[in-house]
Chain A
Amino acid sequence: MTAPSKEFMEMKQKAMQITGAEAVIRSLLEEGVETIFGYPGGAIMPVYDALYDFDKQVRHILTRHEQGAVHAAQGYARVTGDVGVCFATSGPGATNLITGIADAMIDSTPLVCITGQVASPLLGTDAFQESDVVGISMPVTKWNYQITTPEEIPTAIAQAFYIARSGRPGPVVLDLTKDAQFGKVDFTYKRCEKIRSYVPEYPLDKESLKSASDLINSAKKPFLLFGQGVVLSGAERELQEFIEKAGIPAAGTLLGLSALDSEHELNTGMLGMHGNYGPNIKTNECDVLIAVGMRFDDRVTGDVKRYARQAKVIHLEIDPSEINKIIKADIAVLGDAKKSLRMLTRLVKRQEHTDWVNEFHQAADIEDEKVIQKDLFPVKPGLTMGEVVRMSSELTNNQSVVVADVGQNQMAAARYSKFSKTRSHISSGGLGTMGFGLPAAIGAKIGAPDREVVAFVGDGGLQMTIQELGTIAQENLPVKLVVLNNHFLGMVRQWQQLFFERRYSFTEMVNPDFVKIAEGFGIPGKQVTTREELKVAMKEMIDNPGPFLLDVLVEKEDNIFPMVPTGASVSDILLSAEE
């Protein structure tokens, strides 16, 4: 047999080569990607063209705006724990992603965003639809990288996924020039397993865990705060076992909420500005404060100078830069929450702190009388946000995924939903992005098709991304949207009422008929204005197999209480405006 000719070998070699664009899709498949949210355009067209051949393996959701795509990817990531993926074209497509990327950064959500870019010879020439995406996204990404040759694609994508999902997760942007998409590459893929300059998590420090357990064992009034870190590390069971063994009452941050069953006897509720009364005042009474996977956001701490001064603080945290950033820890335990909690449970004594736990119950009774009863069983005819949320929670047996937008609706959703499963509460915490709710619900529904997804949105926030009703309609996604419609930018109006002498400067809204708008998209809906109609309509919404919009006209000038005013201490939490 004669050796194959050089020409033949070269031809064969060419045949095994694929375009950079196809390499993108194949790399995503290697990472297990099943869904991509995105919006096409000139600079990402080769990738979209390659995607055309893979419609059996990946589902692409065409949103109506890139902001919708990125929020949907966030919702997907938050409900599944996988990386959310989105595509956008260069220039305006890429800049439209920025809000969602910033949101994902501050809320530690794993995303890989792939943006098209002008061809590399045009970089820096102000070419059509060129924008410096790497520069713009730098402060709001965990990592970003510009790919200018097809050969870099597999490695860059492997690194992107590794960085996005490991350690403290976060968003990554890959900016991909058009020539890199058109060019040819021999495709082989290897998942990234380590990067020399990046330590996703540090090994457990047994000594600090030992000191932490000693402190916990001697505590009279220990109190635990759990954040989203618990969810991100999958440490829900470990959290429960730990607090049960050591008899420690616990409270969640907004993003931690569903990590522990709302009905658990040691779950004392939510921390923070509009959190529950007990957890806030007890923060300034406990002797040992154990913070797990949370970062002492200012909405949680109020005035830091008057925050838990009396307590010894133990901080369990994966990100070294969070330790001592806001609250100085007496004992810092660096590492993954699941591993830390498991070890800590072994080290602590079985204890009950009955009197101390009862103090939380007493505080809960006060809050119940002064706030919750009024919200859930109002004497006024106008509907409250609280009763709407609670009804939804009850009708779905506390099993639904609750998505919230931002504002009063968000706080009502957090306060009055009950959670029996983890990853059931999706909300924009750190950035507080209005317009997040509707698209995030789309992603959540795609990520958890078997779960009921109910999104609570304000009339203001809905109108920031209302176009995504089109996405729901096109995909026929059974998302249930509850508009808590007060004809106001409610949360801002509340502040104006309380702190700006009721000067309602530009917060009143003339709204369109949301039901008609939904109808225009082919989505059924109903408006309710009375208590009598509410239950029937909500049942109809839940029983409806497809999407549904429920426009609930709520009391126009209701407020969310309790409240820790900005700059106040958590122990100065107000139960009503009269206080």
Chain B
Amino acid sequence: MKEEFIISAYSENHIGLLNRITIIFTRRKVNIESLTVSESALRGISKFTIVVREERSRVENIVKQIEKQVDVLKAYFHTNEEMIFQEIALYKVPTQALMESDQIERMVRKHNARILEITKDYTVIEKTGHKEETQELFEGLNKFGVLQFIRSGRVAITRSANERLSEFLAERDALLASIEMKSN
């Protein structure tokens, strides 16, 4: 059964790694629903957040393949329940529509969205939330004609207290020190 999973991978900040990670999906014909890359709380370490709809066993294998990449430090996968996540959406509507009735303004309030910029021609509205929520606002606004729309990739954070990676890095150092390599 396919479900939605959030994969998060931590890597060294190296050129080409995004490509190395995405081809793991391409090769298996797994569609990436969304992808976000940014710096993590730790300097020099990037964090990839990738959303897929797949069978759990396939996701397990993909995560192992991601982790196998030399420059990747650690990769996890989670169900939506295990994470707090958000996406951000921007909507551009004609300012005239905003002027003609108060419906758009009410919608903005109801959805906890906010207005970023108003010009003579257009108004830009911003909303963060889950995809269904940003979509719902889109449907609403579109009755007045949305001129432009964009939704970001998902950002997600675990429900545990601290960045797991810091503990992980300490463990990693100990692990590497403990391995007696064949060459010595």
For residue A7, which residues in chain B have a CB less than 8 angstroms away from its CB? none
Asked if A197 contacts B72 (CB within 8 A), the reply is yes
Cα–Cα distance between A200 and B73 once the two chains are bound (Å): 12
For residue A296, give the distance in angstroms from its CB to the closest CB of chain B.
13
Contacting B at CB under 8 A, from A157-204, are 163, 165-166, 193-203
Q: Of all chain A residues, which has the CB nearest B71?
A: A197
A193 and B68 contacting across the interface, CB-CB below 8 Å = no
Contact assessment for B179 and A197 in the assembled complex, using a CB-CB cutoff below 8 Å: no
A325 touching B175, Cβ below 8 Å:
no
19 contacts between A and B (CB under 8 A): A135-B19, A139-B23, A146-B15, A163-B70, A166-B181, A196-B176, A197-B12, A197-B73, A199-B176, A199-B179, A201-B181, A203-B178, A233-B182, A320-B64, A320-B67, A321-B68, A324-B61, A325-B61, A325-B64
Please, which residues of chain A bring their CB within 8 A of the CB of B72?
Answer: 197
Q: Which of B19-71 contact A (CB under 8 A)?
A: 19-20, 23, 27, 57, 60-61, 64-65, 67-68, 70-71
Least distance between A112 CB and chain B CB atoms (Å): 14
Contacts of B23 in A (CB 8 A): 138-139
Contact A193 B19 (CB under 8 A): no
Q: A321 to B179, Cβ gap below 8 A?
A: no
What is the distance, in angstroms, from A193's C-beta to the closest C-beta of chain B? 7
Rounded to whole angstroms, the CA-CA distance of A320 and B176 in the bound complex is: 16
Determine if B16 and A138 form an interchain contact, defined as CB atoms under 8 angstroms apart: yes
Please determine whether B172 and A196 come into contact, CB atoms closer than 8 angstroms.
yes
Identify whether the interface residues of B are mostly helix, strand, loop, or mixed: helix
Given contact pairs A138-B19, A320-B64, A198 touches B179 in the complex (Cβ within 8 A): no
Interface pair A203/B179, CB less than 8 Å apart: yes
* Contact status B64-A142, CB under 8 Å: no
B134 at the A/B interface (Cβ < 8 Å)? no
Q: B11: CB under 8 A from chain A? A: yes
Select from chain A the residue with minimum beta-carbon distance to B73.
Answer: A197
Interface string of A69-113 (1 = CB under 8 A from B): 000000000000000000000000000000000000000000000
Which residue from A143, A166, A195, A197 sits with its C-beta under 8 Å from B11?
A197
Task: Looking at the assembled complex, report how far the CB atom of A304 sits from the nearest CB atom of chain B, in whole angstroms.
Answer: 13
For A200, the chain B residues whose CB sits under 8 A away are 179, 181
Q: List residues of chain B with CB within 8 A of the CB of A321.
A: 61, 64-65, 67-68
Across the interface, A197 reaches (CB within 8 A) one of B27, B57, B70, namely B70
Query: Does A492 have its Cβ within 8 Å of any Cβ on chain B?
Result: no
**CB <8 Å contact, B179 and A201:** yes
4 smallest A-B Cβ distances: which pairs?
A321-B64, A143-B70, A197-B73, A321-B68
Interface residues as binary, B158-184 with A (CB distance below 8 Å gives 1, 0 otherwise): 000000000001001101101101110
B17 CB to nearest A CB, Å: 10
Shortest C-beta distance, B169 to chain A (Å), equals: 8
B73, A196: Cβ atoms closer than 8 Å:
yes
CA–CA, A234 and B182, complex, Å: 10
Tell me which of B27, B57, B65, B179 has the highest count of chain A C-beta atoms within 10 A of its own C-beta: B179
Inter-chain CA distance A485–B13, complex, in Å, is 53
Tell me which residues across on chain B come within 8 A of A198, comparing CB atoms.
70-71
How close is A105's CB to chain B, nearest CB, in angstroms? Answer: 12
Q: By the criterion CB–CB under 8 Å, are B16 and A134 in contact?
A: yes
Q: Is the CB of A319 within 8 A of B71?
A: no
Residues of chain A contacted by B20 (CB below 8 angstroms) = 138
* Chain B interfacial residues counted at CB < 8 A: 29
Residue of A nearest to B61 (CB): A325
Bound CA–CA A21/B61 (angstroms): 41
A459 close to B (CB within 8 Å) = no
- Known: A143-B70, A146-B16; 19 extra A-B contacts, CB below 8 A, are A134-B16, A138-B19, A139-B23, A139-B27, A143-B71, A166-B183, A193-B181, A196-B73, A197-B12, A197-B70, A197-B71, A197-B73, A198-B70, A198-B71, A200-B179, A201-B181, A202-B175, A234-B182, A324-B60
Would you list which residues of chain A between 283 and 333 have a CB under 8 Å from chain B?
A: 319-321, 323-325
Closest to B15 in A: A146
In the assembled complex, the Cα of A200 lies from the Cα of B172 at a distance in Å of 12
Across the interface, name the chain A residue whose C-beta is closest to B173: A196
- Interfacial chain A residues near B19, Cβ < 8 Å: 135, 138
* CB neighbours of B68 from chain A (8 A): 319-321
Shortest Cβ distance from A567 into chain B, in angstroms?
Answer: 21
A428 to chain B, nearest CB (A): 20
A551 close to B (CB within 8 Å) = no
Q: How far does the Cβ of B96 sit from chain A's closest Cβ, in whole Å?
A: 45
- Quick check: is A22 within 8 A (CB to CB) of the other chain? no
Considering the complex, give the chain B residue whose CB is closest to the CB of A326: B61
Chain A residue nearest to B12 (CB atoms) is A197
Known: A138-B20, A138-B23, A321-B64. Contact between A196 and B12, CB under 8 A?
A: yes
Which residue of the partner chain B has the closest CB to A165?
A: B183
Bound form: Cα–Cα A195–B11 in Å: 12
By a CB distance below 8 angstroms, the chain B residues around A199 are 172, 175-176, 179
Q: Closest residue of chain A to B172, judged by CB?
A: A196
Q: Provide the bound-state CA to CA distance between A518 and B182, in Å.
A: 43
- Which residues of A have CB within 8 Å of B172? 196, 199
In the complex, the answer to whether B175 meets A203 with C-beta atoms within 8 Å is yes
Tell me the smallest distance from the CB of A12 to a CB of chain B, in Å: 35
Q: Are B73 and A336 neighbours in the complex by a CB distance under 8 Å?
A: no
Write the nearest CB–CB distance from B64 to chain A, whole angstroms: 4
A43 to chain B minimum Cβ distance, whole angstroms, is 20
Complex: chain A residue closest to B24, CB-CB = A139
| Residues of B close to A139: CB separation below 8 A | 23, 27
A328-387 CB contacts (< 8 Å) to partner B: 336
Closest to B23 in A: A139
Q: Which A-chain residue is minimally distant from B60 (CB atoms)?
A: A324
Closest to A196 in B: B172
Given the complex, which residues of A lie within 8 Å of B65, measured CB to CB?
321
Chain A positions within 8 Å of B183 at CB level: 165-166
Bound together, the chains give a CA A200 to CA B178 distance in angstroms of: 12
Measured CB to CB, the closest approach of chain B to A187, in angstroms, equals 22
Chain B residues positioned under 8 Å from A134 (CB to CB): 16
A146 contact set on B, CB distance < 8 A: 15-16
The distance in angstroms between the C-alpha atoms of A202 and B174, with both chains bound, is 12
- CB <8 Å contact, B70 and A195: yes
Which residues of chain A are within 8 angstroms of B60 by Cβ–Cβ distance? 324
Q: Mark A195-224, 1 if CB is under 8 A from B, else 0.
A: 111111111000000000000000000000
What's the Cα separation between A325 and B60 when bound, in Å? 9
Min Cβ gap B50→A in Å is 17
A138-B20 Cα distance, complex, nearest whole Å: 6
- Find the B residue at minimum CB distance from A323: B64
C-alpha spacing A337/B72, complex, angstroms: 24
Q: Is the CB of A142 within 8 A of B70?
A: yes
A405 CB to closest chain B CB (Å) equals 27
A201 to B183, CA, bound (A): 13
Q: Across the interface, which residues of B come within 8 angstroms of A234, CB to CB? A: 182
Complex Cα gap A551–B167 (Å): 64
When each residue 135-148 of chain A gets 1 if its CB lies under 8 Å from chain B and 0 otherwise, what string results? 10011001110100
